[in-house]
Structure formats: structure tokens, C-alpha cells
Structure 1
Amino acid sequence: MDLEQYYIAIVVLACLIVGYCIKHIKWLDEVSNQYIPTVLALLGAFLGCVANQGVSLENIVYGALSGLASTGLHQLFSRLIDQRKGDEDE
């Protein structure tokens, strides 16, 4: 297993945490939900370069995709939790 795969997982996790904070911290309510994927893609691109210790197109793209993947993971978790709450209410 290539060590770079661990770095990308760390970028996804970091972006997931930042996205959650943007969504739930009161003083960040001014950041519109429509900007969260863009913020996480930019953050992921930066973290991808930092994690892989170099700026290259590959690191930028992998990092940005990891940031966007964290947005998708948040949506998946949110829908699963909402579905379970709906099942318990019935």
C-alpha cells in the first residue's frame, strides 16, 4: 500500500472537520452553505500539497478532490442520521 493514500485520507478527515465547524459554529453562520464545497476544495488542494511535501498539479488535484469528497461524506452521514431518526419516529 502506497503511503500517499494515508495522506489523502488525512486531508479528507481534516476537511470533514473544517466543514463541520463551518456548518455548526455560530459566528461562522455568515459563510453561506453554497461556499462550503469551494472552501473545502481550496483547503484540500493546499493540504494535499503540504501532506505530499510538494506543489504539483497531481497534489493539487488529489487534494481538491479529497476536500470535495469530505463534502459528500458529510451529506451521506447527514442523510443516514436523518433516515434513522425518521425510522425511530414511526
Structure 2
Amino acid sequence: MFDLNLLGGYLVLAVVGICVCVGYVIKTSFSFIENKYIPCIMALLGCALNIWIAGYVSPEVILGGLISGLASTGLHQSFKNLIEK
């Protein structure tokens, strides 16, 4: 069985934080963007940010960006559920 904790080593907190903020702005300010597209946008933004931070492109940098961007959507949903319940 695959251990998802292994992927935690690829999280980049700065990328997660930026993606959470950008995702929140998209969700609350741009009604023409459907919610189903926000994870894709955050994954791409996460990749771009992580490549910029690292200064080079490698599979690990891309994976770190993808995981960090997608983690931001999960973090937003967890925080939202915590506040609402």
C-alpha cells in the first residue's frame, strides 16, 4: 500500500500559503470561474511558483509544486468545514 506521508516531504509552505490566498480570491471575487477549475489553477500556479523559488526545473520541483498547489485547496476546504461546523 502506498504511504501518502512520503508526499509530505514535497510540500513547500510558501507555495501552499500563496495558493491558499490566490484560490480564496478566485473563489470569492471571480464568479465566472467555476469551482471545479480552482484545483487545476492552483496546481499550475504551484508548479510555476515552485520552479521560480527553486530556480530550476526537475521532476521533484514539479511534484512539489503540484502537491503544494493541490494541498492549498484541501487546506481551504478543511478550514471552511472547521469554521462552519
Normalised to the residue count of structure 2, the TM-score between the two structures is 0.85
Number of residue pairs the alignment of both structures matches: 76
| Stretches of 4+ aligned residues off by more than 6 angstroms | none
The match for 2:41 is 39
Structure having the higher Rg:
1
The percentage of aligned residue pairs carrying the same residue is 46
Shift of 1:56: 1.1
> 1:61, 1:49 → 2: CA distance?
10
Partner AA of 1:65 in structure 2: I
Ranked by relative contact order (alpha carbons within 8 Å, sequence separation 6 or more), the top structure is 2
Measure, in 1, the Cα distance between the counterparts of 2:23 and 2:14: 14
CA distance, structure 2, for counterparts of residue 8 and residue 49 of structure 1 = 11
The CA RMSD measured in Å over matched residues stands at 1.3
Q: TM-score, normalised by structure 1?
A: 0.81
The residue that corresponds to 1:87 in the other structure is: none
- Matching of residue 80 in structure 1 with residue 82 in structure 2: yes
Structure 2: runs of 5+ lacking an equivalent = 1-8
